[in-house]
Amino acid sequence: MNAKVPEDILEQTARAAEADWKDPKRYLWLLSPALPAIGLAAISAYAVAPKKLRALAWVGPIMVHGVIPAVDKMVGDDEANPPESVIGRLEQDKYYSWIVKGFIPAQYAATFLATWLVGRRKDMPLSDYLGLTLSIGAINGIAINTGHELSHKHDKMDRFLSMLALAPTGYTHFAVEHPYGHHKRVATPEDPASSRMGESFWKFLPRTVIGGFKSAYKIEKERLARKGKSFWSKENELLQGWALSAGVFGAMAAVGGVRSLPFIAGQAAYGASLLEVINYIEHYGLMRQKDAKGKYERTRPEHSWNSNQLVSNLFLYQLQRHSDHHAHPTRSFQTLRNFEDAPTLPGGYASMLLPAYFPSWWYGLMDRLVIDHYKGDLSRINMDPERREELLAKYGQPVVAVAPAVEAADAGSKDTIAETGSGESTLKAVNS
């Protein structure tokens, strides 16, 4: 007969195991700051032998659209979560903070090397010029994720480094709009950064770019007004960020000359578009519901698309564990958790980029997932109002079943939106 182990002994054993727990990905996180270093190495090799190593000018698109998705598929998922008892220790470990900040030096080194090459090598083929533009755009676009991680911190140096990472794309307003706009309105028709079912990326892009700028302006203007200061105050973070971007662009133009100007503009546009296509992916079709008073429910795990593909998560500071990020915006990347029942994408973010560019491909992958998530109730979906009747007819629901929140947003509604709560989120309410 087996003796029963006392519960207190089991608890002590579990606590001891958690106390000895070590992050199995501790050194794998170095892949993220290694990404611009890989780009820098490739562009340096191209600089030495441009004729023999011409393909290296395209290192950015090759990595983003080819290598990372392929390795993601080979390696697979990582669903493990750190024990709750070690979260505080992980948050206090400065090693992880330095990993995030370590991205920036290589980012700038690669940016200015490529700027010099495109500006000073007059015999550079147009294909190489384009490749370097997209490669640096990819590096600076991924750097927006570095800026994103730092934008949720309250330390002044972290906020400055966030702006510094964002500056080469001219997207410093993101550090204002994202934590104070998107996180407040996420998964509602009022949020310019939450895409609607039936809305193509190309339709979403101008809406989110223009809406993001407008939102950032409004947020900063109101913040300064509460302090009794004008928009033109030196404390205006938008003006600070734009000045930083102007300085970076000016320095790049000084290094590369007139020939580098299309490169500077092109890499910024491509880099910013990478952020926006990720925004497009993250909340597609998902919508927070309103209560009887017309107030949106709190943000829950079911309001974000997630992925546990390991390699993409290592490169992107676990941005793909997006539900936990919205539940706890200030939680650092190394402590973000997987929620088993949260909406899951068919692939990692890198794998979803190309489908997002092609509407038919994207709708074929995602629309049925959105409908299944809401158990066929199309009235709960954040849907493109211009395609609502078409989609309701296509998926077999009467056209009278209209989501009132979408109509209100398109009519300029100012309904109250609940801010993300800081308490523990659960999935008990999914589709209840």
Confidence at residue 396, expressed as pLDDT on a 0 to 100 scale:
78
pTM: 0.88
392: Cβ–Cβ under 8 A, 6 or more apart, which residues?
378, 398, 399, 401
In 131-203, the DSSP E strands lie at none
Place of tokens 């133009």: 253
Quickly count: other Cβ atoms within 10 Å of residue 291's Cβ. Answer: 9
- Taking a C-beta distance cutoff of 8 angstroms, is the pair 431, 286 a contact? no
130: Cβ–Cβ under 8 A, 6 or more apart, which residues?
266
- What's the angle, vertex CA 161, arms to CA 156 and CA 356, rounded to 5? 125
Closest CA to 303 of 292, 289, 293, 317: 289
- Taking a C-beta distance cutoff of 8 angstroms, is the pair 76, 17 a contact? no
CA atoms within 13 A on the CB side of 353: 22
Confidence at residue 5, expressed as pLDDT on a 0 to 100 scale:
55
Quickly count: other Cβ atoms within 10 Å of residue 164's Cβ. Answer: 22
Closest CA to 35 of 129, 99, 114: 99
Q: What is the 3-state secondary structure (H, E, C) of 219-243?
A: HHHHHHHHCCCCCCCCCCHHHHHHH
Tokens of 410: 């398109």
Give, for 245, the enclosing helix (H) or strand (E). helix 237-256
Tokens of 179: 């934590």
Closest CA to 302 of 380, 414, 407: 380
What are 60-90's pLDDT values in tens digits?
999 999 999 999 999 999 999 999 999 999 9
Confidence at residue 402, expressed as pLDDT on a 0 to 100 scale:
45
Residue 163 — φ and ψ, nearest 5°?
A: -60, -40
Confidence at residue 18, expressed as pLDDT on a 0 to 100 scale:
61
Interhelix angle 126-151/103-120, rounded to 10 degrees, is 160
Alpha-carbon distance 236 to 44, whole Å?
Answer: 38
For residue 309, the SS3 value is: strand
CA 147 to chain CA mean position, Å: 10
What are 103-143's pLDDT values in tens digits?
999 999 999 999 999 999 999 999 999 999 999 999 999 99
Closest CA to 153 of 332, 419, 335: 332
**Rounded-to-10 torsion of CA 44, 48, 51, 53:** -40
Alpha-carbon distance 375 to 372, whole Å?
Answer: 5
**Rounded-to-10 torsion of CA 62, 64, 69, 71:** 70
Confidence at residue 416, expressed as pLDDT on a 0 to 100 scale:
39
- Taking a C-beta distance cutoff of 8 angstroms, is the pair 422, 328 a contact? yes
Tokens of 252: 């790049």
Alpha-carbon distance 59 to 67, whole Å?
Answer: 10
End-to-end CA distance of the chain: 45
Quickly count: other Cβ atoms within 10 Å of residue 246's Cβ. Answer: 12
Confidence at residue 7, expressed as pLDDT on a 0 to 100 scale:
63
DSSP state of 421: P
CA 231 to chain CA mean position, Å: 28
From first to last of its 432 residues, the chain has per-residue pLDDT tens of: 555 555 655 455 445 456 679 999 999 999 999 999 999 999 999 999 988 999 999 999 999 999 999 999 999 999 999 999 999 999 999 999 999 999 999 999 999 999 999 999 999 999 999 999 999 999 999 999 999 999 999 899 999 999 999 999 999 999 999 999 999 999 999 999 999 999 999 999 999 999 999 999 999 999 999 999 999 999 999 999 999 999 999 999 999 999 999 999 999 999 999 999 999 999 999 999 999 999 999 999 999 999 999 999 999 999 999 999 999 999 999 999 999 889 999 999 999 999 999 999 999 999 999 999 999 999 999 999 999 999 999 997 654 444 444 444 544 444 434 444 433 443 433 333
Alpha-carbon distance 262 to 276, whole Å?
Answer: 21
Alpha-carbon distance 133 to 60, whole Å?
Answer: 9
Q: Helices then strands (H, E): number in the chain?
A: 20, 0
Confidence at residue 429, expressed as pLDDT on a 0 to 100 scale:
34
